[in-house]
Structure 1
């Protein structure tokens, strides 16, 4: 099955970076999947998108001008912070 390309307005999952790792290896906030809306798609690389990320405490905008977010296959576990993937089917 061919992967569907992203388009403006689609809902995806953004993987947050989390807070910096402390000396003891812990993090105040570990990386987590967040709901996001695709706001723009890079015409040269359709796997790179700009996002409006919906966090429990507010919104975060990650535009293409700031580097955008790269697609990562959901099978890649754990997903890398700063990437997006299609929501898992449950």
Structure 2
């Protein structure tokens, strides 16, 4: 990770989406959401607490509930965060 997360930085959080239905579809598939870093794990800087901004409201993902880990693979797995893409 070339940049270090700090409190107040904007990142992207990948939502988990809803569970798969019996036909294999999802009501809400995983999606990137805007998030603000609210805390950083001093022992594992890639693990952060986030305030995630969803279209239907805010979601808090604090460190004491597990936090969110940095996805350095580019796979955009649910529950992870990454730096916003440059355009």
TM-score normalised over the length of structure 2: 0.96
Q: Distance in 2 between matches of 1:76 and 1:10?
A: 19
Gaps of 5+ in 2: none
Query: Which runs of 4 or more aligned residues in structure 1 lie more than 2 Å from their structure 2 counterparts after TM superposition?
Result: none
| RMSD across aligned positions (CA) | 1.0
Q: Show the counterpart of 1:76.
A: 74
Aligned length: 87
Listed one character per residue, the Cα deviations across residues 1-42 of structure 1 (whole Å, up to 9, x for unaligned) are x61110000000000000001111100000000000000000
| 2:86 pairs with 1:89 | yes
Superposed counterparts of 1:1-90, under 5 Å: 3-73=2-72, 76-77=74-75, 79-90=76-87
TM-score normalised over the length of structure 1: 0.93
Listed one character per residue, the Cα deviations across residues 23-81 of structure 1 (whole Å, up to 9, x for unaligned) are 111000000000000000000000000000000110000000000000002x523x100
Classify the secondary structure of the residue corresponding to 1:25: coil
